[in-house]
Structure 1
Amino acid sequence: MPTTLRSVVDASAAVAATRSRDAKTSIVAALLADTAPEDLDVVAHYLAGTLRQRRTGVAWGSLRTHRAPADDATLTVAEVDAAFERLAALTGPGSVDKRTRELDALFGAATAAEQEWLVAVVTGNLRQGASESLLIDAAARAASVEVAEVRRAAMLAGSAAEAVALALIGGTEALRAVGLSVGRPVQPMLAASEKDIATAMAKADPSGAPVSVDVKLDGIRLQAHRDGDRVWLATRTLQDVTERLPEVVEAVLALPVERCVLDGEAMLIGPDARPRAFQETAARTASDAGEAVAAFFFDALQIDDDVLLDEPAEVRFAALERVVPPALRVARTVTDDPGVAEEFARRALEAGHEGVVVKNLSSPYAAGRRGSGWVKVKPVHTLDLVVLAVERGSGRRAGMLSNIHLGARDPGTGGFVLLGKTFKGMTDEMLRWQTGRFRELETSDDGWVVALRPEQVVEIAFDGVQRSTRYPGGVALRFARVVRYRDDKPAAEADTIDAVRAFLT
């Protein structure tokens, strides 16, 4: 029986109405168990608060027009997904009128509650507290399989929705069949943060054993897959950028292997051999032409027929060194001495890099997870936050969108917690860019504050965190300033409110 949109909307409302994670999980699990197999992928996306289509071409302005709701709930999730698929395909002359007609038909068939839900999911404002992590837990419960099996399949498939469908349809056997596949990018392993080298070393390996200390590059995360004479390049968000980086493709093809999966960074290097600004690298990798980008690899997930994903880091690093020349590798040292690590970090900073990443040599590659196996240390405190709104500029910034409202992710609600505002650190170029970008994300404009879909991640430097009754999270950043905008990072990976509170002194 086809799955109705009403069942998803009702479940979404029920999830939003409780703060209990166990209750949320039970609600989502019940819906997944009742979902038709052919609808599982779409329903999984909807329960996570996203559309299956990355872009639909639907702007906030087109959703403002009131359409009379239907009296009865008749829409199926398949019909809704098909409508958004048609919307995503509309381009060229006449597409605006066609999009209007398509939206009128979709919203005209939706009840008032369904219309409200559709607007929220399209604008990225669905506040229901059902994250991908909760979705994975719910799928495990509904399918009576281990959570770890669903999580691993999601990491290797690069999609929680795909893992959910596998769990419900094929169970453990289907989940275990998902392995590392050359040409299909996996979610990258992520690093936790610490304030100093000694603490990072103790966190990465409490036993006191030697750790790897890698230079932390300020580039674009890059995953390289090769099978014979074919190469695929993917970013942190699993976006395919192969066609944009032919110089990196050439470098990977020159390696003495038939197959490989490598993890690393791409960045522009100046004539002085120092790294260029992140914004320059980001702009270059977003384009099909420009200066040559250099690739630097720090991990190997597969070399020829050897799948290394579950091997200790020291085994993976040794395999990397056997096939990747030093010029294409991230610099690292192995030590159990904090003093040696501090000196290595000092030289990295002098060379223009961000800092270092301390890595446990016995840890496997935990795709998609931010554990303690990798711990980054940067000299300036920074957080990756989400821009929730922006204010119109005044004086020299008149005509620009300037002061940004910063939010941290709240895993409990699925929303974001306001931490404060800042206009510091913005260059003229950045102001021009964000004025255009934020108009694309606009959901409302009261003449002073422009509310935004919570999609744009920004890296913020700050001097500390203090308690505050002014903001709902109870904390505020001291001397917050913009470092850069992170187009390489989705809002789902922004720092949490708990990570912010950890800086309280």
Structure 2
Amino acid sequence: MHAFAALLDSLIYTRSRNAKLKLIGDYLRATPDPDRGWAMAALTGDLDLPAIKPALIRALIEERVDPVLFRMSRDYVGDTAETVSLLWPEPDPPVAQPPLTVAEAIDRLMHLSRSDAPAALAAMLDRLDAEERFALLKMATGALRVGVSARLAKQALADAFALDVEAVEEVWHGLEPPYPTLFAWAEGMGAQPTAADVPVFRPFMLAHPLEELRVDLADYAAEWKWDGIRVQIVHVVNAQGVGETRLYSRTGDDVTRAFPDVASAFATPGVLDGELMVRGDFQGGALEEGGGAASFNALQQRLGRKVVSAKMLAEAPAFVRLYDILFDGTEDLRALPWTERRRRLEALVPRLDPSRFDLSQLVEAADFTALEGVRAGARDAAIEGMMLKRRDSPYVAGRRTGLWYKWKRDPLTADCVMMYAQRGNGRRSSWYSDYTFGCWTEEGELLPVGKAYQGITDQEIAQLDRFVRQHTLARFGPVREVEKTLVLEIAFDSIHESKRHKSGLAMRFPRIVRIRTDKPAAEADTLAGLRKLVT
């Protein structure tokens, strides 16, 4: 556990991507099985220890230290695992046991019942020092927050053992932690694992922002960019003739259980790429060509659910608007040009369930100037912008310059008044960096319309932190209510009706554009003005 704890500690304080890759790679080469495999599972989010919940950890620490002290410390530190690891009292007498390994800790926690979990976790924490306690709690709750994505961890593994990261991605979802066959292959002691008979994830092809570039439509096809979540649909028939379908998000997370209506409707061997959405104004039957999608706000009601009720399946039926085809049966089409893959996809779509799948339509325009006009007029709730795809491009993982571009529609903006501020997490834990803001009602009341922490520099965060500390009206744990005098210009992709918010509105992807010290709070925008932007 000590080596894994040291790795996490180093990753937290390392910003360089290359340095993070080296730290993880050095750990994987030096650490034996199965510890390194479980460490990879933790870094990639593939570790599930259902018996350990944050409430259990809070209950354990509050039995051992003053609950008020813990809560005040947690508010200041901004992280439960770090606070508990520092406050946890040393056992008296000291526990004389051999060092706890990662594999030993996981094996114990993985097979615990809810009733046995508190005593078992407490016994482990008694055996560890503060750094190791932090690592154990982070691993147990699945909230590492050390600046490492699943992709970066896999890249580190590939670099450490001179593997192709795409080959690692290709087989990853067909393997189970602690990945003994993967490490045997990495060290030249076993064959490369195969994805045969398993519906595994293949890395998505991604796009660069278009920015100021203009392209020739003779070389590029234009397609609407829909506002759902990008998914990959995989159906494989194994040697016994049994088929299985899985849906993967862009990050490779398996979201099949949240969308069983889509998974059950796809029984065609192959791999497709598309946008997962829910239908708006559902009337049953086939989808209308190029339409039928509700806003992202409607889709959010189903995201992250492990069980979806029959009522939700009926009220928010999901479907996929298809973009591309990677495999047709067992035939790998990724090396073919986009035009040929598009032809194959167009031939496949009529064979699919029309209530669950349709084809994303191309946007026709005489030239790029005409295309700009079409994009400028797009304000459909489900349209996020356009995609420009080079007609001869193969389907390659990641972002490759010159092949695909995303051309998002211009954001909407509003001037809002800061109402509340909350401490951030990680390196922002000592700063008030998360801000709730609102707009005025006709009666002069300020109601919240969103919360944002993105879009501003460290210097601007320091400026806002000073404002919060100097203009606090009330404190609620880590949250402060501030004087309603500071205006923030907020950019957002769209705004929707919401029953969950007192204002009745919810912004999609709000971010701070600038601090409007030049504008009086009384001149900020109104809810009535925002409602005119609802799509």
The equivalences for 1:37-436 within 5 A come to 37-46=33-42, 48=43, 52-53=47-48, 55-59=50-54, 60-62=57-59, 64-65=61-62, 66-68=88-90, 70=95, 74-87=99-112, 90=113, 95=114, 97-122=115-140, 126=144, 128-132=146-150, 134-143=152-161, 145-146=162-163, 149-154=164-169, 157-158=172-173, 168-171=183-186, 178=194, 183-194=199-210, 199=213, 202=215, 210-227=219-236, 230-236=243-249, 237-242=251-256, 245=259, 247-249=261-263, 251-253=265-267, 258-271=268-281, 274-284=292-302, 286=305, 287-289=308-310, 290-291=314-315, 292-325=317-350, 328-333=358-363, 337-346=367-376, 348-350=378-380, 353-367=383-397, 373-381=403-411, 421-424=435-438
Once the two structures are overlaid, the 10-residue window that deviates more, 108-117 or 59-68, is 59-68
- The structure with the larger Rg is 2
Is the 1:182–1:259 contact (alpha carbons within 8 Å) kept by the matching residues of 2?
no
Conserved in 2, the CA contact under 8 Å of 1:150 and 1:167?
Answer: no
Does the CA-based 8 Å contact 1:261-1:300 persist in structure 2?
yes
| Alpha-carbon distance in structure 2 between the residues aligned to 1:423 and 1:360 | 41
Deviation readout 1:317-344 (Å, 9 max, x if unpaired): 2211111139711111377831243244
* Structure 1: 5+ residue stretches without partners: 384-392, 395-401, 428-433, 435-457, 486-494
Aligned to 2:4: 8
Residue 459 of structure 2 aligns to a residue whose secondary structure is coil
Amino acid at match of 1:374: W
- Deviations 1:107-152 (CA, angstroms, capped at 9, x unpaired): 1222232113323444566565555455345434432x15xx0344
Give the C-alpha shift of residue 295 in structure 1. 2.4
Aligned-pair RMSD on alpha carbons? 4.8
TM-score (normalizing by structure 1): 0.65
Q: 1:445: which partner in 2? A: none
Q: Distance in 2 between matches of 1:315 and 1:480?
A: 39
**TM-score w.r.t. structure 2 length?**
0.62
Question: 1:139·1:168 contact (CA, 8 Å) conserved in 2?
Answer: no
Residues 367/22 of structure 1: CA separation in 2 closer, same or farther (3 Å cut) = closer
| 8 Å contact from structure 2 (residues 172, 200) kept in 1 | yes
Residues 273, 323 of structure 2: 8 Å contact kept = yes
Provide the rounded CA distance (Å) in 2 between the counterparts of 1:425 and 1:358: 36
2:450 matched to 1:469?
A: no
Amino acid at match of 1:471: I
Partner amino acid for 1:142?
A: A
User: 1:160–1:216: structure 2 CA closer, same or farther, 3 Å change rule?
Assistant: farther
Cα distance change of structure 1 residues 283 and 259 upon mapping to structure 2, 3 Å threshold: same
Moved more, 417-426 or 319-328: 417-426
1:18 and 1:109, CA in 2 relative to 1: closer, same or farther beyond 3 A?
same
Q: CA deviation at 1:301?
A: 1.0
The answer on whether the counterparts of 2:422 and 2:435 sit within 8 Å (CA) in structure 1 is yes
Give the Cα–Cα distance (whole angstroms) in 1 for the partners of residues 336 and 178 of structure 2: 23
One-letter code of the match for 1:421?
Answer: Y
Higher percent of residues as helix: 1
Query: Which piece of structure 1 moves more, 185-194 or 75-84?
Result: 185-194
Matched residue, 2:84? none
Any stretches of 5+ residues in structure 2 without a counterpart? 63-87, 283-290, 442-447, 466-486, 497-508, 515-535
Q: Deviations over 1:276-328 (max 9, x none)?
A: 23222232464242233232111111112311233332232221111113971
Shift of 1:74: 0.9
Write the distance in 2 (CA, Å) between the matches of 1:426 and 1:179.
56
Give the Cα separation in 1 of the matches to 2:349 and 2:422. 43
Identical amino acids, percent of aligned pairs: 23
d(CA) in 2 for partners of 1:159, 1:418: 42
Counting matched residue pairs gives 413
- Give yes or no for contact 1:9–1:117 (8 Å, CA) kept in 2: yes
- Paired with 1:360 and 1:72, the residues of 2 have a C-alpha distance of 62
Distance change (3 Å), C-alpha of 1:176 and 1:330: farther
Contact 2:221 2:388 in 1 (8 A): yes
Contact 2:423–2:430 (8 Å) recurs in 1: no
C-alpha change, 1:86 and 1:467, in structure 2 (3 Å) is closer
String of CA shifts for 1:75-130, please: whole Å, max 9, x gaps. 0111111133135xx4xxxx3x4221121122122223211332344456656555
